A = this chain, B = another copy of it.
Amino acid sequence: MQKKEPIILITNDDGITAPGIKALVDAVRGLGRIVVVAPDSPQSGMGHAITIGHPLRLNKVDVFDGIDAWQCSGTPADCVKLARDKVLHEKPDICLSGINHGPNHSINVIYSGTMSAAMEAAIEDIPSAGISLFNFDFDADFSIAAQVARNVAERMLTQPLPPHILLNVNVPNATQGDFKGVKICRQAYARWQEQFDHRTDPRGKDYYWMVGKFLNLDKGTGTDVEALKDGYASIVPVTIDLTDVKTKEWLEAEWKF
């Protein structure tokens, strides 16, 4: 009996018409049955938002040559939930999210819609990876990122990840000539330093635009920020169990209840 073709669910947070998701679909052609369920509009910075206060729309579209695809009015996490329940009616073998226009290294794993789709998949026991390119341009060159994405997808299908683990894959904005390869990393401690841009509207009322500067505050080695800076793609294995075991022991000893 022939082995069933694996189902590869693809989503993103830049929207179904972004060049990054097209690059990802093309990168993994031939590895299985590809199904796309992605937001109908950009959803960057949506974190792990889900839509409970209003209804969701889901419409079949024809944007990837020969690939079944649906656009959804919800968030990236909504897309994964709807894909499983209303499109596939079963669990896909793997879920890939991206390729994001812009990096999601370090603390961005928490803010990123791309990563939240991958995290939603991991919660639902679907091995997953979010892939992001360190270039925000619409017409960025996705060729290295596509090559890394295919490599990661192949490994996910042949050497499965432990349960409930997702991969945060970031690719430097490199050419074939200066790309150094792939490194397994830990998440750097970094954060955004906000500087709100304060303006006044035509009616004299205040408003603020969020702008920020990315600060790498990590003094150690082996981080994703460091790998990217050195020209490597970074892979950070990410858990959905956020318990801090060391602090748990400390609290039990010091905060006696």
Residues of A within 8 A of B (CB): 42, 44-53, 55-58, 77-78, 81-82, 84-86, 107, 109-111, 116, 119, 123-124, 155, 159, 161-162, 164-165, 181-187, 189, 191, 194-196, 198-199, 205-210, 235-248, 250-252, 254-255, 257
**Interface pair B248/A238, CB less than 8 Å apart:** no
Number of copies: 2
Q: Main secondary structure on chain A at its contact with chain B? A: mixed
How far is it, in angstroms, between the C-alpha of A199 and the C-alpha of B56 when the chains are bound? Answer: 10
A240-B107 in contact given A48-B47, A210-B51, A251-B235 (Cβ < 8 Å):
yes
A109 — which chain B residues lie within 8 A by C-beta?
A: 242
How many whole Å from A80's CB to the nearest CB in chain B? 10
**8 residue pairs, one from A and one from B, having the closest CB atoms:** A47-B48, A237-B247, A239-B244, A182-B257, A47-B47, A55-B207, A49-B49, A186-B243
* Chain B minimum-CB-distance residue to A208: B56
Could you write out 8 A-B pairs with CB less than 8 Å apart?
A48-B48, A50-B210, A56-B208, A107-B240, A159-B255, A184-B255, A187-B243, A242-B242
Q: CB < 8 Å: which of B46, B119, B251, B257 contacts A237?
A: B251
**Interface pair A196/B50, CB less than 8 Å apart:** no
A81 — which chain B residues lie within 8 A by C-beta?
A: 194, 196, 210
**Interface pair B241/A237, CB less than 8 Å apart:** no
A181 — which chain B residues lie within 8 A by C-beta?
A: 257
How far is it, in angstroms, between the C-alpha of A109 and the C-alpha of B191 when the chains are bound? Answer: 20
Q: CB < 8 Å: which of B42, B47, B199, B238 contacts A49?
A: B47
A196 — which chain B residues lie within 8 A by C-beta?
A: 56, 81-82, 85-86
A185 — which chain B residues lie within 8 A by C-beta?
A: 248
A123 — which chain B residues lie within 8 A by C-beta?
A: 107, 110, 191
